[in-house]
Chain A
Amino acid sequence: MLETTITRSNPLVDPSLAVWSWEIPVYLFAGGIVAGMMILGGLAMLRIAKGDDPRTFFSLHTPLFAFMLINVGMGALFLDLAHKLYVWRVYLTFQPDSPMSWGSWVLLVVYGALMASALVRLPQAWPWLGRRVPVLQTLSDAITGSPGRMRLLGWANILLGAGLGIYTGILLNTMVARPLWNTGLLGPLFLVSGLSAGAAAMHVASVFLPRRPAPEGMLGGAISALVQQLGPEPPERRTVDTLIRADIAFLAIELVLLGLVVVNLQTSSASHAVAAALIVSGPYAWAFWGVIVALGILAPLALQWLELDHRIPHTVLPALLVLVGGFALRWVMVNAGQASHIVHAAGL
């Protein structure tokens, strides 16, 4: 029998840590989707470099979309900061031991890569800008016209995407104080989850974003460049099926990784086992089993399998479920992770 009382009652720290609420999960989720999109977009660029049709939705429009999402993520991160006016301090230093410092600098590079990638399609997406700043058109042509440059950009997207995806897990993983995060599988898990979420996000975008010829005006053009697909053509069926197939693979890997994470924690120290219990049988079990596993992985796996088998019509539902599950994964890991702590081993 052990009775522990602690007189401390600091806001956001007691009774259990809650310094991060929705903002960090949104940031990690947005980062994960962007990472997935960059990898998928990068892969498409490599194919284009080999001679595939460059006008496919997924190859060149995604950077603009990802650019938007990363802004949402960064916005959420900024909202989470408690000392906002000092945010610039991050870029006055580089702290090699700090994942967050790495992340901050990597994000700058990601921004650059995304902008370069977006540039490829920007003059067409936003004709007004293309006319006013002809150099953009020149740059765009220089990239699209050169398979070598395209390949380079593709690899940059893939590598940065992988880095970003793993980083979102590493950020949590390095914190020894929170046993739930202390598994090396967290990075790969978040990466794969990001890939499936990235594919799902593009799938959803392909369905919901309007298809019209790019408007000519300044404002309309700017907005449509961000929220509109290029041209009236829907993505090719083949491309969509490829996405679905890829997503099935991602989800399957994610399921395996998730299982490994749980087993890994349960078979580790008492603290880790107690942490695993938080999500497996504790207060976060409903979200873990119900939302992440059932709704977010198993249901879309089954639905997409049936879709490919032409037993049910194509819908956007599986993609939406994947997105819900992807966010839930980050939300649960961030919140349950904060609630997890090292179990006192020290005796009297």
Chain B
Amino acid sequence: MEHLSRRRFLKISAATFGAAAAASHWDPLTRAAAAAAADAPPGVKTVPTFCEMCFWRCSGIAHVRDGRLWKFEGNPKDPQSRGRLCPRGTGAVGSYYDPDRLQKPLIRRGARGKEEWTAVTWDEAFTYIADRMGRIKAEHGPEAVAMLNHGIGQFFLQHALKSWGAINFAGSSFAQCRGPRDIGFALTFGTGLGSPEPTDIANTNCLALIGEHLGENMHNTQVQEFAQAVERRIPIIVVDPRFSVAASKAKYWLPIRPGTDLALLLAWCNVLVNEGRYDRAFVEKHGHGFDKFVAAIRDNTPEWAAEETGIDAATIRATARELGNARPASLVHPGRRVTWNGDDTQRSRAIALLSALLGNWGRKGGLYFAAGMKVAPYPLPKPPKSDKPQADNPDGERFPFADEGITNGIRDATLTGKPYPIKGWFVYSTDLMYALPGPQETLQAIDKLDLLVVVDTMPSEIAGYADVVLPEVTFLERHDQLLTGYGRQGWLSLRQPVMPAPHDQKPNWWIAKQLAAKLGIPECLPFKDIEEYLRFRVEKSGIEWETLKREGVIMGPPAPIYVEDGAALAFDTPSGKVEFWSDQLAAKGFDPVPRYTAPPKPPEGFFPLITGRAPVHTFSRTQNNPLLHGLMKENEVWVNAATAAKAGLKGGQYVRLKNQDGVVSNRIRVKATQRIRPDTVYMVYGFGHTRKAMTNAYLRGASASQLATRYVVDPLMGGTSIHSNFVTFVKEA
């Protein structure tokens, strides 16, 4: 591990940065793409397909003009985009023409992380992988190969690996994102919320956003409905240490002290209960342990919360009353990327309890019941069963309430060799150096591996450490698994190729099939090509294949999504009711009602670093996209103007950030602003790339993940906090 971290990662602070302004361009830079354009018939061709710029998965219509990918517009038939994509979707054109795309399969030469590669054929790459996998299987069993993934394209690869005997799979969408929310809601209502969240913003009469920064966080449908809510002039309450875009539209902005949201939520519950503003009928009929809940939150008064949160008691009362007055069409947004402080499941549970008090479960203007659409499965052979437990959370003992794979759990197992060694990683479409906090641990884990395969479209940070890099085509060049969407109405979306692959990139399904063949299990994916697979599923579901190809989106049958329209209330909890008091939490030694703990205080001269999103970028995936790079080239560290003045910082100047463990970031511009609490700093995460192969993103801004050397693990489900680090400023020499 030493050589890895020393060589590139922690040493980044000492590197010299010219931040050479690489000329960004999004013209076709490759001969293949140019040739394709030259051969193409003149005129405009349109192809409907669904987007993969983020995981909201809107459907769009790609326009190809004279063989050139021209633009990507929303598909009006799509319930997600409603005909309008977000900037990342619109900028998808740039991902196709990105000059830095991976082009050929690569095998590592020399030390890991040295970035010395040999370009090989696909067959050579598969032979190499199969050979290494075979050796791992012989020595440690197939369970020693794990897969970390994030994207709809993971399906076929997962199936191939499962068929080979692998059992350890995890996506950062759970333990680094929405996991605590879904568990918190499941513990309360018996079911999580899933994606897209069934938030009825379009019909709500009062909306509270806790850290959720819609407008900067561009979850398309929600942003569209948020704008409608603004237009309807309903009371909006935004709780955020930062004057977010959403806060600027709100009736109430509560500039809360970071990490104290749970205190506010409990105080809101307290007010609703004490002032009798909650939905008594709902609670009486469906609540479990309400009296014990009331007793537990008795002391969580607004006055108490004011001390913790920095929000005055009168505002806490006023906002609680706004929420209560509008119920049941009153909505506290459950959030999405909620892994903040390590107590996130309990905080999410407090939101769930608040929702229960508002009686908005399954109600118009609250949280509706998402409807889906039945689509026939393809009869794939069942993978073999393993007698070993999953490594990340053996028999659910580490994290009793986790219901998905835990990425950091797999990393822990790789590091410790317990419960058994993990010797191979497949990393699909996620940059673990950004997705997981504790990057030093990721590097240490990589050092334990005999095989690291990275499948991606771009030379990500993690790909820099890979043994084998497999270049995938972008979503604009491939078929993919069908999207069966859940929402106010179920729907089915198709992804299909718009453009030819510019080089030797391949789609995930092809990679999976070839790998399976090389592993000697070709029968696990028993279709000739993906069109056959998709066509089977679609036609089996009674939908014409040609119609789906032409329309891109097919809507499912309408179903009631509100209780008032006849949707049934049912709670899949142990008590069969809404659990205000959770016996199962108590049984495992956790707080049966969320209990607030004050966040740790920063050392003198340090500030808590909080992070968020920019509307034009997704995680660390899009910074190099020439179009999106042009919109936002680097992140800034937001510092309150008064704080900046005290620290001798001027807006626009570059500084480095040093965290409590001495890790120093790449240089980042100061945004001296009134828009943030004086005791907090903020940055958009996903920037500060250190691979030269990303010519646009290289050394632009600072990486929040690099500074996240400290994190708290949510004991309920394994989520990792991202707001546990403190930083101070290091001025540029």
**Any A–B CB pair closer than 8 Å:** yes
Task: Compute how far the CA of A3 lies from the CA of B641 in the bound complex, rounded to whole angstroms.
Answer: 10
Determine whether A7 belongs to the interface, using a CB cutoff of 8 Å to chain B.
yes
Determine whether A1 belongs to the interface, using a CB cutoff of 8 Å to chain B.
yes
Task: Compute how far the CA of A284 lies from the CA of B675 in the bound complex, rounded to whole angstroms.
Answer: 33
Mark interface residues in A1-37 (1 if CB within 8 Å of B CB, else 0): 1010001000000000000000000000000000000
Determine whether B631 belongs to the interface, using a CB cutoff of 8 Å to chain A.
yes
Determine whether B673 belongs to the interface, using a CB cutoff of 8 Å to chain A.
yes
Q: Is the CB of A1 within 8 A of B674?
A: yes
Task: Compute how far the CA of A1 lies from the CA of B640 in the bound complex, rounded to whole angstroms.
Answer: 13
Mark interface residues in B600-636 (1 if CB within 8 Å of A CB, else 0): 0000000000000000000000000000000100000
Chain B facing A: main interface SS: mixed
**Interfacial chain A residues near B674, Cβ < 8 Å:** 1, 3
Q: Which residue in chain B gives the minimum CB-CB distance to A7? A: B631
**Interfacial chain A residues near B641, Cβ < 8 Å:** 1
**Interfacial chain B residues near A7, Cβ < 8 Å:** 631
Task: Compute how far the CA of A3 lies from the CA of B640 in the bound complex, rounded to whole angstroms.
Answer: 12
Mark interface residues in B624-666 (1 if CB within 8 Å of A CB, else 0): 0000000100000000010000000000000000000000000
Q: Is the CB of B673 within 8 A of A3?
A: yes
**Interfacial chain A residues near B673, Cβ < 8 Å:** 3
Task: Compute how far the CA of A1 lies from the CA of B641 in the bound complex, rounded to whole angstroms.
Answer: 11
**Interfacial chain B residues near A1, Cβ < 8 Å:** 641, 674
Q: Smallest CB–CB gap between B640 and chain A, Å?
A: 12
Q: Smallest CB–CB gap between B479 and chain A, Å?
A: 36
Q: Which residue in chain A gives the minimum CB-CB distance to B673? A: A3
Within 8 A of A (CB), among B669-714: 673-675
Task: Compute how far the CA of A7 lies from the CA of B636 in the bound complex, rounded to whole angstroms.
Answer: 13
Q: Smallest CB–CB gap between B636 and chain A, Å?
A: 10
Q: Which residue in chain B gives the minimum CB-CB distance to A2? A: B674
Q: Which residue in chain A gives the minimum CB-CB distance to B631? A: A7
Task: Compute how far the CA of A1 lies from the CA of B631 in the bound complex, rounded to whole angstroms.
Answer: 26
Q: Which residue in chain A gives the minimum CB-CB distance to B672? A: A3
**Interfacial chain A residues near B631, Cβ < 8 Å:** 7
Mark interface residues in A182-196 (1 if CB within 8 Å of B CB, else 0): 000000000000000
Mark interface residues in A100-135 (1 if CB within 8 Å of B CB, else 0): 000000000000000000000000000000000000
Q: Smallest CB–CB gap between B25 and chain A, Å?
A: 14
Q: Which residue in chain A gives the minimum CB-CB distance to B651? A: A3
Task: Compute how far the CA of A7 lies from the CA of B615 in the bound complex, rounded to whole angstroms.
Answer: 13
**Interfacial chain B residues near A3, Cβ < 8 Å:** 673-675
**Interfacial chain A residues near B675, Cβ < 8 Å:** 3
Q: Smallest CB–CB gap between B628 and chain A, Å?
A: 12
Q: Smallest CB–CB gap between A10 and chain B, Å?
A: 11
Task: Compute how far the CA of A3 lies from the CA of B673 in the bound complex, rounded to whole angstroms.
Answer: 7
Task: Compute how far the CA of A1 lies from the CA of B673 in the bound complex, rounded to whole angstroms.
Answer: 10
Q: Which residue in chain B gives the minimum CB-CB distance to A1? A: B674
Task: Compute how far the CA of A3 lies from the CA of B674 in the bound complex, rounded to whole angstroms.
Answer: 8
Q: Smallest CB–CB gap between B677 and chain A, Å?
A: 16
Within 8 A of A (CB), among B261-282: none
Q: Smallest CB–CB gap between A329 and chain B, Å?
A: 31
Q: Smallest CB–CB gap between B635 and chain A, Å?
A: 14
Q: Which residue in chain B gives the minimum CB-CB distance to A15? A: B652
Task: Compute how far the CA of A7 lies from the CA of B675 in the bound complex, rounded to whole angstroms.
Answer: 17
Task: Compute how far the CA of A7 lies from the CA of B614 in the bound complex, rounded to whole angstroms.
Answer: 13
Task: Compute how far the CA of A6 lies from the CA of B673 in the bound complex, rounded to whole angstroms.
Answer: 14
Q: Smallest CB–CB gap between B464 and chain A, Å?
A: 30
Within 8 A of B (CB), among A268-310: none
Task: Compute how far the CA of A7 lies from the CA of B628 in the bound complex, rounded to whole angstroms.
Answer: 12
Q: Smallest CB–CB gap between A230 and chain B, Å?
A: 55
Task: Compute how far the CA of A3 lies from the CA of B639 in the bound complex, rounded to whole angstroms.
Answer: 13
Task: Compute how far the CA of A4 lies from the CA of B481 in the bound complex, rounded to whole angstroms.
Answer: 45
Q: Smallest CB–CB gap between A272 and chain B, Å?
A: 26
Q: Which residue in chain A gives the minimum CB-CB distance to B671? A: A5
Task: Compute how far the CA of A105 lies from the CA of B641 in the bound complex, rounded to whole angstroms.
Answer: 54
Q: Smallest CB–CB gap between B222 and chain A, Å?
A: 23
Q: Smallest CB–CB gap between B643 and chain A, Å?
A: 15
Mark interface residues in B103-119 (1 if CB within 8 Å of A CB, else 0): 00000000000000000
Task: Compute how far the CA of A288 lies from the CA of B673 in the bound complex, rounded to whole angstroms.
Answer: 34
Within 8 A of B (CB), among A182-226: none
Q: Smallest CB–CB gap between A180 and chain B, Å?
A: 24
Task: Compute how far the CA of A7 lies from the CA of B629 in the bound complex, rounded to whole angstroms.
Answer: 12
Task: Compute how far the CA of A32 lies from the CA of B674 in the bound complex, rounded to whole angstroms.
Answer: 49
Task: Compute how far the CA of A3 lies from the CA of B636 in the bound complex, rounded to whole angstroms.
Answer: 15
Task: Compute how far the CA of A180 lies from the CA of B497 in the bound complex, rounded to whole angstroms.
Answer: 55
Q: Which residue in chain A gives the minimum CB-CB distance to B630? A: A9
Q: Smallest CB–CB gap between A69 and chain B, Å?
A: 39
Task: Compute how far the CA of A263 lies from the CA of B674 in the bound complex, rounded to whole angstroms.
Answer: 36
Q: Smallest CB–CB gap between A101 and chain B, Å?
A: 35
Task: Compute how far the CA of A1 lies from the CA of B642 in the bound complex, rounded to whole angstroms.
Answer: 12
Within 8 A of B (CB), among A314-339: none
Q: Smallest CB–CB gap between A45 and chain B, Å?
A: 56
Q: Smallest CB–CB gap between A32 and chain B, Å?
A: 38
Task: Compute how far the CA of A75 lies from the CA of B675 in the bound complex, rounded to whole angstroms.
Answer: 51
Q: Smallest CB–CB gap between A12 and chain B, Å?
A: 16
Task: Compute how far the CA of A1 lies from the CA of B675 in the bound complex, rounded to whole angstroms.
Answer: 12
Q: Smallest CB–CB gap between B22 and chain A, Å?
A: 15
Q: Smallest CB–CB gap between A283 and chain B, Å?
A: 16
Task: Compute how far the CA of A7 lies from the CA of B87 in the bound complex, rounded to whole angstroms.
Answer: 14
Task: Compute how far the CA of A95 lies from the CA of B641 in the bound complex, rounded to whole angstroms.
Answer: 50
Q: Smallest CB–CB gap between A347 and chain B, Å?
A: 16
Task: Compute how far the CA of A2 lies from the CA of B597 in the bound complex, rounded to whole angstroms.
Answer: 38
Q: Smallest CB–CB gap between B639 and chain A, Å?
A: 13
Q: Smallest CB–CB gap between A14 and chain B, Å?
A: 13
Task: Compute how far the CA of A7 lies from the CA of B674 in the bound complex, rounded to whole angstroms.
Answer: 19
Q: Smallest CB–CB gap between A317 and chain B, Å?
A: 43
Q: Smallest CB–CB gap between B215 and chain A, Å?
A: 15
Q: Smallest CB–CB gap between A138 and chain B, Å?
A: 61
Q: Smallest CB–CB gap between B53 and chain A, Å?
A: 19
Task: Compute how far the CA of A7 lies from the CA of B634 in the bound complex, rounded to whole angstroms.
Answer: 12
Within 8 A of A (CB), among B467-489: none
Q: Smallest CB–CB gap between B671 and chain A, Å?
A: 8
Q: Smallest CB–CB gap between B229 and chain A, Å?
A: 21
Q: Smallest CB–CB gap between B679 and chain A, Å?
A: 19
Q: Smallest CB–CB gap between A178 and chain B, Å?
A: 24
Q: Smallest CB–CB gap between B726 and chain A, Å?
A: 26
Q: Smallest CB–CB gap between A8 and chain B, Å?
A: 11
Task: Compute how far the CA of A261 lies from the CA of B100 in the bound complex, rounded to whole angstroms.
Answer: 54
Task: Compute how far the CA of A1 lies from the CA of B243 in the bound complex, rounded to whole angstroms.
Answer: 15
Task: Compute how far the CA of A330 lies from the CA of B673 in the bound complex, rounded to whole angstroms.
Answer: 37
Q: Smallest CB–CB gap between A11 and chain B, Å?
A: 12
Task: Compute how far the CA of A195 lies from the CA of B673 in the bound complex, rounded to whole angstroms.
Answer: 51
Within 8 A of B (CB), among A63-86: none
Task: Compute how far the CA of A3 lies from the CA of B675 in the bound complex, rounded to whole angstroms.
Answer: 10
Q: Smallest CB–CB gap between B393 and chain A, Å?
A: 44
Task: Compute how far the CA of A3 lies from the CA of B248 in the bound complex, rounded to whole angstroms.
Answer: 14
Q: Smallest CB–CB gap between B198 and chain A, Å?
A: 33
Task: Compute how far the CA of A258 lies from the CA of B698 in the bound complex, rounded to whole angstroms.
Answer: 49
Task: Compute how far the CA of A42 lies from the CA of B674 in the bound complex, rounded to whole angstroms.
Answer: 63
Within 8 A of A (CB), among B285-302: none
Task: Compute how far the CA of A3 lies from the CA of B243 in the bound complex, rounded to whole angstroms.
Answer: 13
Task: Compute how far the CA of A1 lies from the CA of B672 in the bound complex, rounded to whole angstroms.
Answer: 12
Task: Compute how far the CA of A3 lies from the CA of B631 in the bound complex, rounded to whole angstroms.
Answer: 20
Q: Which residue in chain B gives the minimum CB-CB distance to A5? A: B671
Task: Compute how far the CA of A309 lies from the CA of B631 in the bound complex, rounded to whole angstroms.
Answer: 65
Task: Compute how far the CA of A35 lies from the CA of B674 in the bound complex, rounded to whole angstroms.
Answer: 53
Q: Smallest CB–CB gap between A261 and chain B, Å?
A: 32
Q: Smallest CB–CB gap between A172 and chain B, Å?
A: 30
What are some 6 contacts across the A-B interface (CB < 8 A)? Answer: A1-B641, A1-B674, A3-B673, A3-B674, A3-B675, A7-B631
Those 6 A-B pairs whose CB atoms lie nearest each other, nearest first: A3-B673, A1-B674, A3-B674, A7-B631, A3-B675, A1-B641
